[in-house]
Amino acid sequence: MPQITTCLWFDGKALEAAEFYVSVFPNARITDVQRSLVDTPGDGAKIGDVLTVAFELDGKPFLGLNGGPAFQFNEAISLMIDCDDQAEVDYYWDAFLNAGGAPSACGWLKDRFGLSWQVTPRGLLEMIRDPDAAKAKRAFEAMMGMVKLDIAALRTAFEGQ
């Protein structure tokens, strides 16, 4: 199967975003930076400006494209961080918010570049997929009332306590 790479459109901040992402995630690196060979009046890019930045987050390839202001990120696309425990949830949540991000709801936030992320504990997915519909519903309803997800509170709701 061919490799699939997620391409993220930025308005002149692809390198800044890639540098931020690789600073937050372990096992992450920038693999290539391509610079524009021509001036592109439509987006204001000049010869030598960063055009694309290839980077990896835990071996998954991404391409940051400086495409100009024509398109913006929205919640129709988000990246999900599958966290092992509350400490990991807190780490990623704080890393994004402390760098200019904004919280949303149900474990979602936007980073300072406008990209949406879901900071999700692995245990939540297990709870809302539980065959006991009442338990799954309680966990789901608890999640819907949260901004940053709290695993202990989700577990308490799941167990009906």
Residues 97 and 157 in one domain: yes
pLDDT at 52 over 90: yes
Structure-block tokens of residue 38: 């021509």
The count of domains in the chain is 2
31 and 60 belong to one structural domain: yes
What number is the average pLDDT over the span 66-79? 93
For residue 56, what is the domain's CATH number? 3.10.180.10
Residues 61 and 52: beta-carbon distance below 8 Å: no
Q: pLDDT per residue over 27-48, tens digit each?
A: 999 999 999 988 877 777 889 9
Give the CA angle between residues 151, 153, 154 to the nearest 5°. 60
Residue 90, amino acid:
D
Tokens of 57: 């987050």
Report how far residue 43's alpha carbon sits from residue 36's, in angstroms, rounded to the nearest whole number.
12
